[in-house]
Amino acid sequence: MAKTHLESGSVIDGFTIGGLAHKGGMARLFEVTRPDIDFPMLMKVPELGQGIDPAMIVGFEMEQMIMPRLSGIHVPRFVANGDFAVQPYIVFERLPGKSLYPLLDDLPRAVEEVALLGNHIATALADLHRQNVVHLDIKPSNIMFRETGEAVLVDYGLARHLQLPDLMDEEFRLPYGTAPYMAPEQILGVRSDFRSDLFALGVLMYFLATGKRPFGDPQRMKGLKKRLWRDAIPPRLLNPDIPKALQEVILRCLEINPARRYPTAAQLAMDLQDLSKVTLTARAEKLKRDGLSLVIKRRFNPDPIELLKPAGAAASLANAPIVMVAIDLSSGSETLADALRLTVSRIIEKTPDARIACLNVLKIARISLESDLDAQGNNKHVARLVQLKSWAEPLKAPEGTVTYHVIEAVSPAQAILEYARDNMVDHIVMGARANSAMRSLLGSVSGEVAATAPCTVTVVRVRGAAEAAE
């Protein structure tokens, strides 16, 4: 299991731990070195102790999946990942200097600086989007700069790669993001539209130019949803030095409907490169917020949000069958585990494009408060995740076809059914308890699932030495 305390001088997979560069609520960043690598590096290590949000663990998994697939000057250079079974980490290039965050101490910034920063960030986003990634957490602390001036986007814990499974969307129903910067469609649970990043950049430019956040910093869903119908105060009303062209750019980024924003980050970067060539519309002239009648219309009779579906990306996910394997890690039956694997192997053989989602339910008490840690001090969620990966390893499935999910719930059957419904699962494979007395005492999870599942269900049973699938 993962170590919980790392010290200067420790060596992990050839990396020597140096000083602590940063400590946040979700992870720590350590300076590290390795003899064969000649550039500065950081090791990001997740916090896995008591009270950690399971979404943080899933987000770290996503970051481990996404970062090795990124390249170019606008992302940190990836070096290595560490497995959850030993020590989870991500090692990547350490960038010189600081993020944009310190600029927030001295606002507003000059118009020319806002346009220049916006241009650099939009250019970085254009590069990221070409690599099929929506960042979904654009904010000052996640933007750094190389000594040569290029913007670098960091922290991919909330990102979505359109050619990879989206574990955050599959396992959690609430939207995740940084409240002031979240796009309307992101608040509604959409995580696949590149233009969500353009909205966040519009919020950032507004903040830099006026010293005010356009939608405040709401901490509840009710406050977040207000931006679906309430427009921001025009930035020129807050800062008369802002030219009409920059207001045009910012308000276009902040449109509720993504279809009214810039279609690409590259086009946004082009406008910010030369504000004199920006085509002005009614947005540029606004000096007050929209009237009450329009706000009420948006609230109760909103225009449909037109979402972007990148060619081939959504279709490739939708056309692949999704097979969920519900695995009881507490049963202790190796015979049943082998039978489940045999069934799944046959599915992979017959349907090579199948997506296999290995799921385990971590049962929690209905009322009492339980510790997140087991008797050995290990995070229970992470321990189950490691066990799932160990269970699936003999399948030797192609990379990217198997994902792992630990769901915390009171009722295992209901958790399985909810996951299947929410993620449009095509087929459920699960084992049946071999002990009839246990079934009588606790009820049959497989029976409840089979009776009400929204898809086909294969219940694998073991009769003595024989293995059969029903």
- Please tell me the predicted confidence (pLDDT) of residue 440: 47
How much is the pLDDT for 210? 98
Nearest-angstrom CA–CA distance, 330 and 327:
9
Domain locations in the chain as residue ranges: 11-93, 101-300, 320-469
Using the predicted structure, report yes or no on whether residue 313 has a pLDDT greater than 80: no
Q: What pLDDT band is residue 304 in, cutting at 50, 70 and 90?
A: confident
Is the predicted pLDDT of residue 161 greater than 50, yes or no? yes
189 forms bridges with which residues in the sheet?
Answer: none
Q: What stretch of H or E contains 13?
A: none
The whole-number average pLDDT for the span 77-101 is: 94
Which CATH superfamily groups domain 11-93?
A: Phosphorylase Kinase; domain 1 (3.30.200.20)
Dist CA 185 CA 177 (whole Å): 12
Most confident range (mean pLDDT) of 211-220, 398-407, 423-432 is 211-220
Q: What's residue 112's pLDDT?
A: 97
Given a cut of 60, is residue 171 above it in pLDDT?
yes
pLDDT per residue as tens digits for the range 93-117: 999 988 999 999 999 999 999 999 9
What pLDDT does 198 receive? Answer: 98
User: Higher model confidence: residue 322 or residue 453?
Assistant: 453
**Beta strand spans in 290-372 (E):** 322-326, 355-363
Residue with tokens 């490739």: 316
Query: Residue 174: how many CB atoms within 10 A of its CB?
Result: 8
Work out the average pLDDT over 386-401.
Answer: 87
pLDDT band at 434; cut points 50, 70, 90: low
CATH class of 101-300: mainly alpha
pLDDT at 238 over 90: yes
pTM of the model: 0.83
How big is the CA angle at 169 (ends 311 and 131), to the nearest 5 degrees?
40
- In angstroms, rounded to a whole number, what is the distance separating the alpha carbons of residues 227 and 205? 17
Residue 276 — pLDDT band, cuts 50, 70, 90? very high
Model confidence band, residue 51 (pLDDT cutoffs 50, 70, 90): confident
Closest to 326 in 3D by CA, of 295, 284, 288, 356? 356
Given pLDDT bands bounded at 50, 70 and 90, which one contains residue 443? low
pLDDT at 336 over 80: yes
Average pLDDT, the chain: 88
Residue 296 and residue 169: Cα distance in Å, rounded? 31
What does the block give as tokens for 92?
A: 């990547």
Give which of 109, 143, 99 is closest to 124, Cα–Cα: 143
The CATH fold assigned to 320-469 is Rossmann fold (3.40.50)
- Name the strand (E) or helix (H) holding 34: strand 27-34
Mean per-residue pLDDT, 179-184:
97
pLDDT at 314: 40
Tracing tokens 């599915």 back to the chain, one arrives at 347
Band the pLDDT of 307: cuts 50, 70, 90: confident
Is the distance from CB of 254 to CB of 228 less than 8 angstroms? no
* CB proximity list for 71: less than 8 A, separation 6 or greater: 131
Q: What is the mean pLDDT of residues 421-450?
A: 74
pLDDT of residue 364: 85
> What pLDDT shows up at residue 204?
98
